[in-house]
Every structure is written in structure tokens, then in C-alpha cells.
Amino acid sequence: MDEGYNFTFLTLGGHVEIDRYRYLYFMIVFLVYIFIICGNSVIVYLIWIHQDLHEPMYIFIAALLLNSLLYSTNIYPKLLIDFLSEKQIISHQACVLQYFMFYTLSCSEFLLLAAMAYDRYVSICKPLQYSMIMRKKTVGMLLAVAWLLPACQLTALAILTANQKICGFTLKVIFCNNSIYKLHCVWSRVISLFGALILVNAILLPILFILFTYAKIFIITYKHSIEVRKKAAQTCLPHLLVLINYSCLIIFDVVLVRIESDLSKTAQLIITLQMILYHPLFNPIIYGLKMKEISKHLKTLFSQCKIS
């Protein structure tokens, strides 16, 4: 590479034996991506066309699955191109954009889960006030906050990151995440503080709110009948499973950058693949099987397809 090339493009060096297994990697990831698109899109479609699913809880589920689609589309197409390319490279500007989208959508995920937790709390603990509190305007406002707040915060962080001078040109990952900071010539205290602030108000605070809300739901429903407790568990369990799953993946992402020098390339790749595979792949499975109303419409759809 010449000097101008180095200053424009970054190498994604996290791939393992890509020359040997490029077509196998491509087919596996391509099939997973198709399944993610189909699985998430089908449930969003069901929520859109069925009037009985036009309730806040299902609208938030549709938003969550749409978020998963955007999250996957930010990573998978570039990954598929890299598998078939001789050199796995990305421009610095495109890398910053991918980094921006990755963390914006990740933060939106937690805020959407927090909105869903609030919806469940009002539904179970304040049923008589539910229709008054969870109006269309309230749902729209919560969705706007979930998507716009992280976007605004990450825009500022992405601008700061893009303006940093870089002295390294190889990332030890397969897509652009916070490992981009390791390419900077000088460690930036402003970027670190701003990143910590976003971590607290867009991830840690929503997680604490969700855990507090569900704890309160289970405490209140424990005093009621078994039927009430069962209903609360049926509606809250899928959200908790998604929260636990995604929280673990974000912890992987944060920790991986700190310990990547101590891990083998293969181990880093496996952990990274878990981050981008599990979450968008399992969300439609969790909501499609665990949510009674969605599962019912899903079975009807499949039975109609078989008949036709």
C-alpha cells in the first residue's frame, strides 16, 4: 500500500483463514442474514396487518425487531463483500459511519426495552389507568426518544472520532466498533468521558430501570393469584431474555477491546460472531414463540401458506 492509500483506508484484520474458507463463510453468513430478514420482517408484518396487535406492547416489539433489521444491515452486507474480496478494507469515513450506526442502534435497543418494561408495569400494576397513560402520543414519544436520543449523542461522538488523527491502519476485528480508538495517535480524554456518559445514560440507566420495573411487577403480582403471576411471567419473560442476551453481548464488546491482545485471533472472531448473530437471530424466535397472540397469528400464516 502506498502512503495515500494507508491514510484513506483501514484493514479489517479480524478474519481467520479467509482465503481457505471464504465461500463457506459467505454461505453461512448469507443464510443467517436471510433468516434474520425473513424472521424479523414476518413478525413486523403480522403486527402491522392485524388490528388486535395494534397495542403498545406489540408496537414496541415491532420497533425492536425493526431495530434488529437495521443493526444487521449495518454489518452483514459489508461482511459478505469482505468474504469475497481479496483485501478486507474499509475507508476511514465508512468505518466511522458503521461504528456510529452500531452503537446508535445498540443504545436504542436498551431504550426500547426500557419503554417495553414501562408499558408492562402500567399494564399489570395500573390496569385501570393503562389506556389513559399509554396513549398513541405517549408511545410515539417513547419511540422517538429511543431512536433520536442515542443518534444525537453518537453523532457528537462520531464527529470527535472522525476528527482524530490516526497512526494505525489495521483493526483486529471484522467490523468497526470501539476498537477504532486504538488507531488514534493520541488518547482523547474528551472522547473517553463522552463515551462513558453515553454508556451510563443510554445503557446502564435503562438496564437499572428495567430490572427495577420487573422486580416491582413480580413483587406486586406475587400477592395475587397464580393466574395473575402466570400472565405476568408470560409477558415479561421474553423481554427479560432479550435484555440478558443483549447485555451479555454489549459486555463482550466493551471487554473485548480491553483484552484483545490476550486472546487468539480465532477466539476474538468467535466472540465477535456471537455479538452479531445471537441477538437479531433469536429475537423473532423469542417473540414468535413466547408471545401468545403473535404465535397464534404466526401459526395461521403458516397454515395458509401450506394450503396455498
For residue range 207-246, what is the model confidence (pLDDT) as tens digits? 999 999 988 888 888 777 777 777 777 777 777 888 887 8
Lowest average pLDDT, out of 51-60, 77-86, 152-161, 236-245, goes to 236-245
Mean pLDDT of the chain: 86
Q: Which residues pair with 10 in a beta bridge?
A: 90
On whether the CB atoms of residues 247 and 207 are closer than 8 A, the answer is yes
Q: Does the residue 2 lie in any domain?
A: no
* CA neighbor of 11 nearest in space, from 1, 23, 24, 25: 1
The reported pLDDT for the residue numbered 306 is: 66
Q: Does the residue 307 lie in any domain?
A: no
Q: Given pLDDT bands bounded at 50, 70 and 90, which one contains residue 92?
A: very high
Q: What is the CATH number of the domain that holds 137?
A: 1.20.1070.10
The residues, any chain, with a CB within 8 Å of residue 123's CB and separated by 6 or more, are: 57, 130, 134, 235
Number of domains in the chain: 1
User: What cell does 109 get?
Assistant: 435497543
Distances (CA, A) of 13 to 22, 81, 169, 257, 268: 14, 15, 10, 14, 11
User: What cell does 190 get?
Assistant: 474528551
Q: Is the pLDDT of residue 6 over 70?
A: no
The reported pLDDT for the residue numbered 303 is: 78
pTM for the structure as a whole: 0.89
Structural domain including 256 reads 9-302
Q: Does the residue 81 lie in any domain?
A: yes
Q: Does the residue 3 lie in any domain?
A: no
Q: Which residues pair with 2 in a beta bridge?
A: none
Tell me the average pLDDT across 148-160: 94
Backbone angles phi, psi at 173, to 5 degrees: -140, 175
Q: Given pLDDT bands bounded at 50, 70 and 90, which one contains residue 308?
A: low
**pLDDT digits over 166-186, tens only?**
888 898 889 998 889 889 998
**pLDDT digits over 270-305, tens only?**
878 877 888 888 888 888 777 778 888 888 877 777
Q: Given pLDDT bands bounded at 50, 70 and 90, which one contains residue 4?
A: very low
Q: Does the residue 120 lie in any domain?
A: yes
Q: Residue 163 burial by CB count (10 A; 0-12/13-18/19+): exposed, middle or buried?
A: exposed
Q: Does the residue 110 lie in any domain?
A: yes
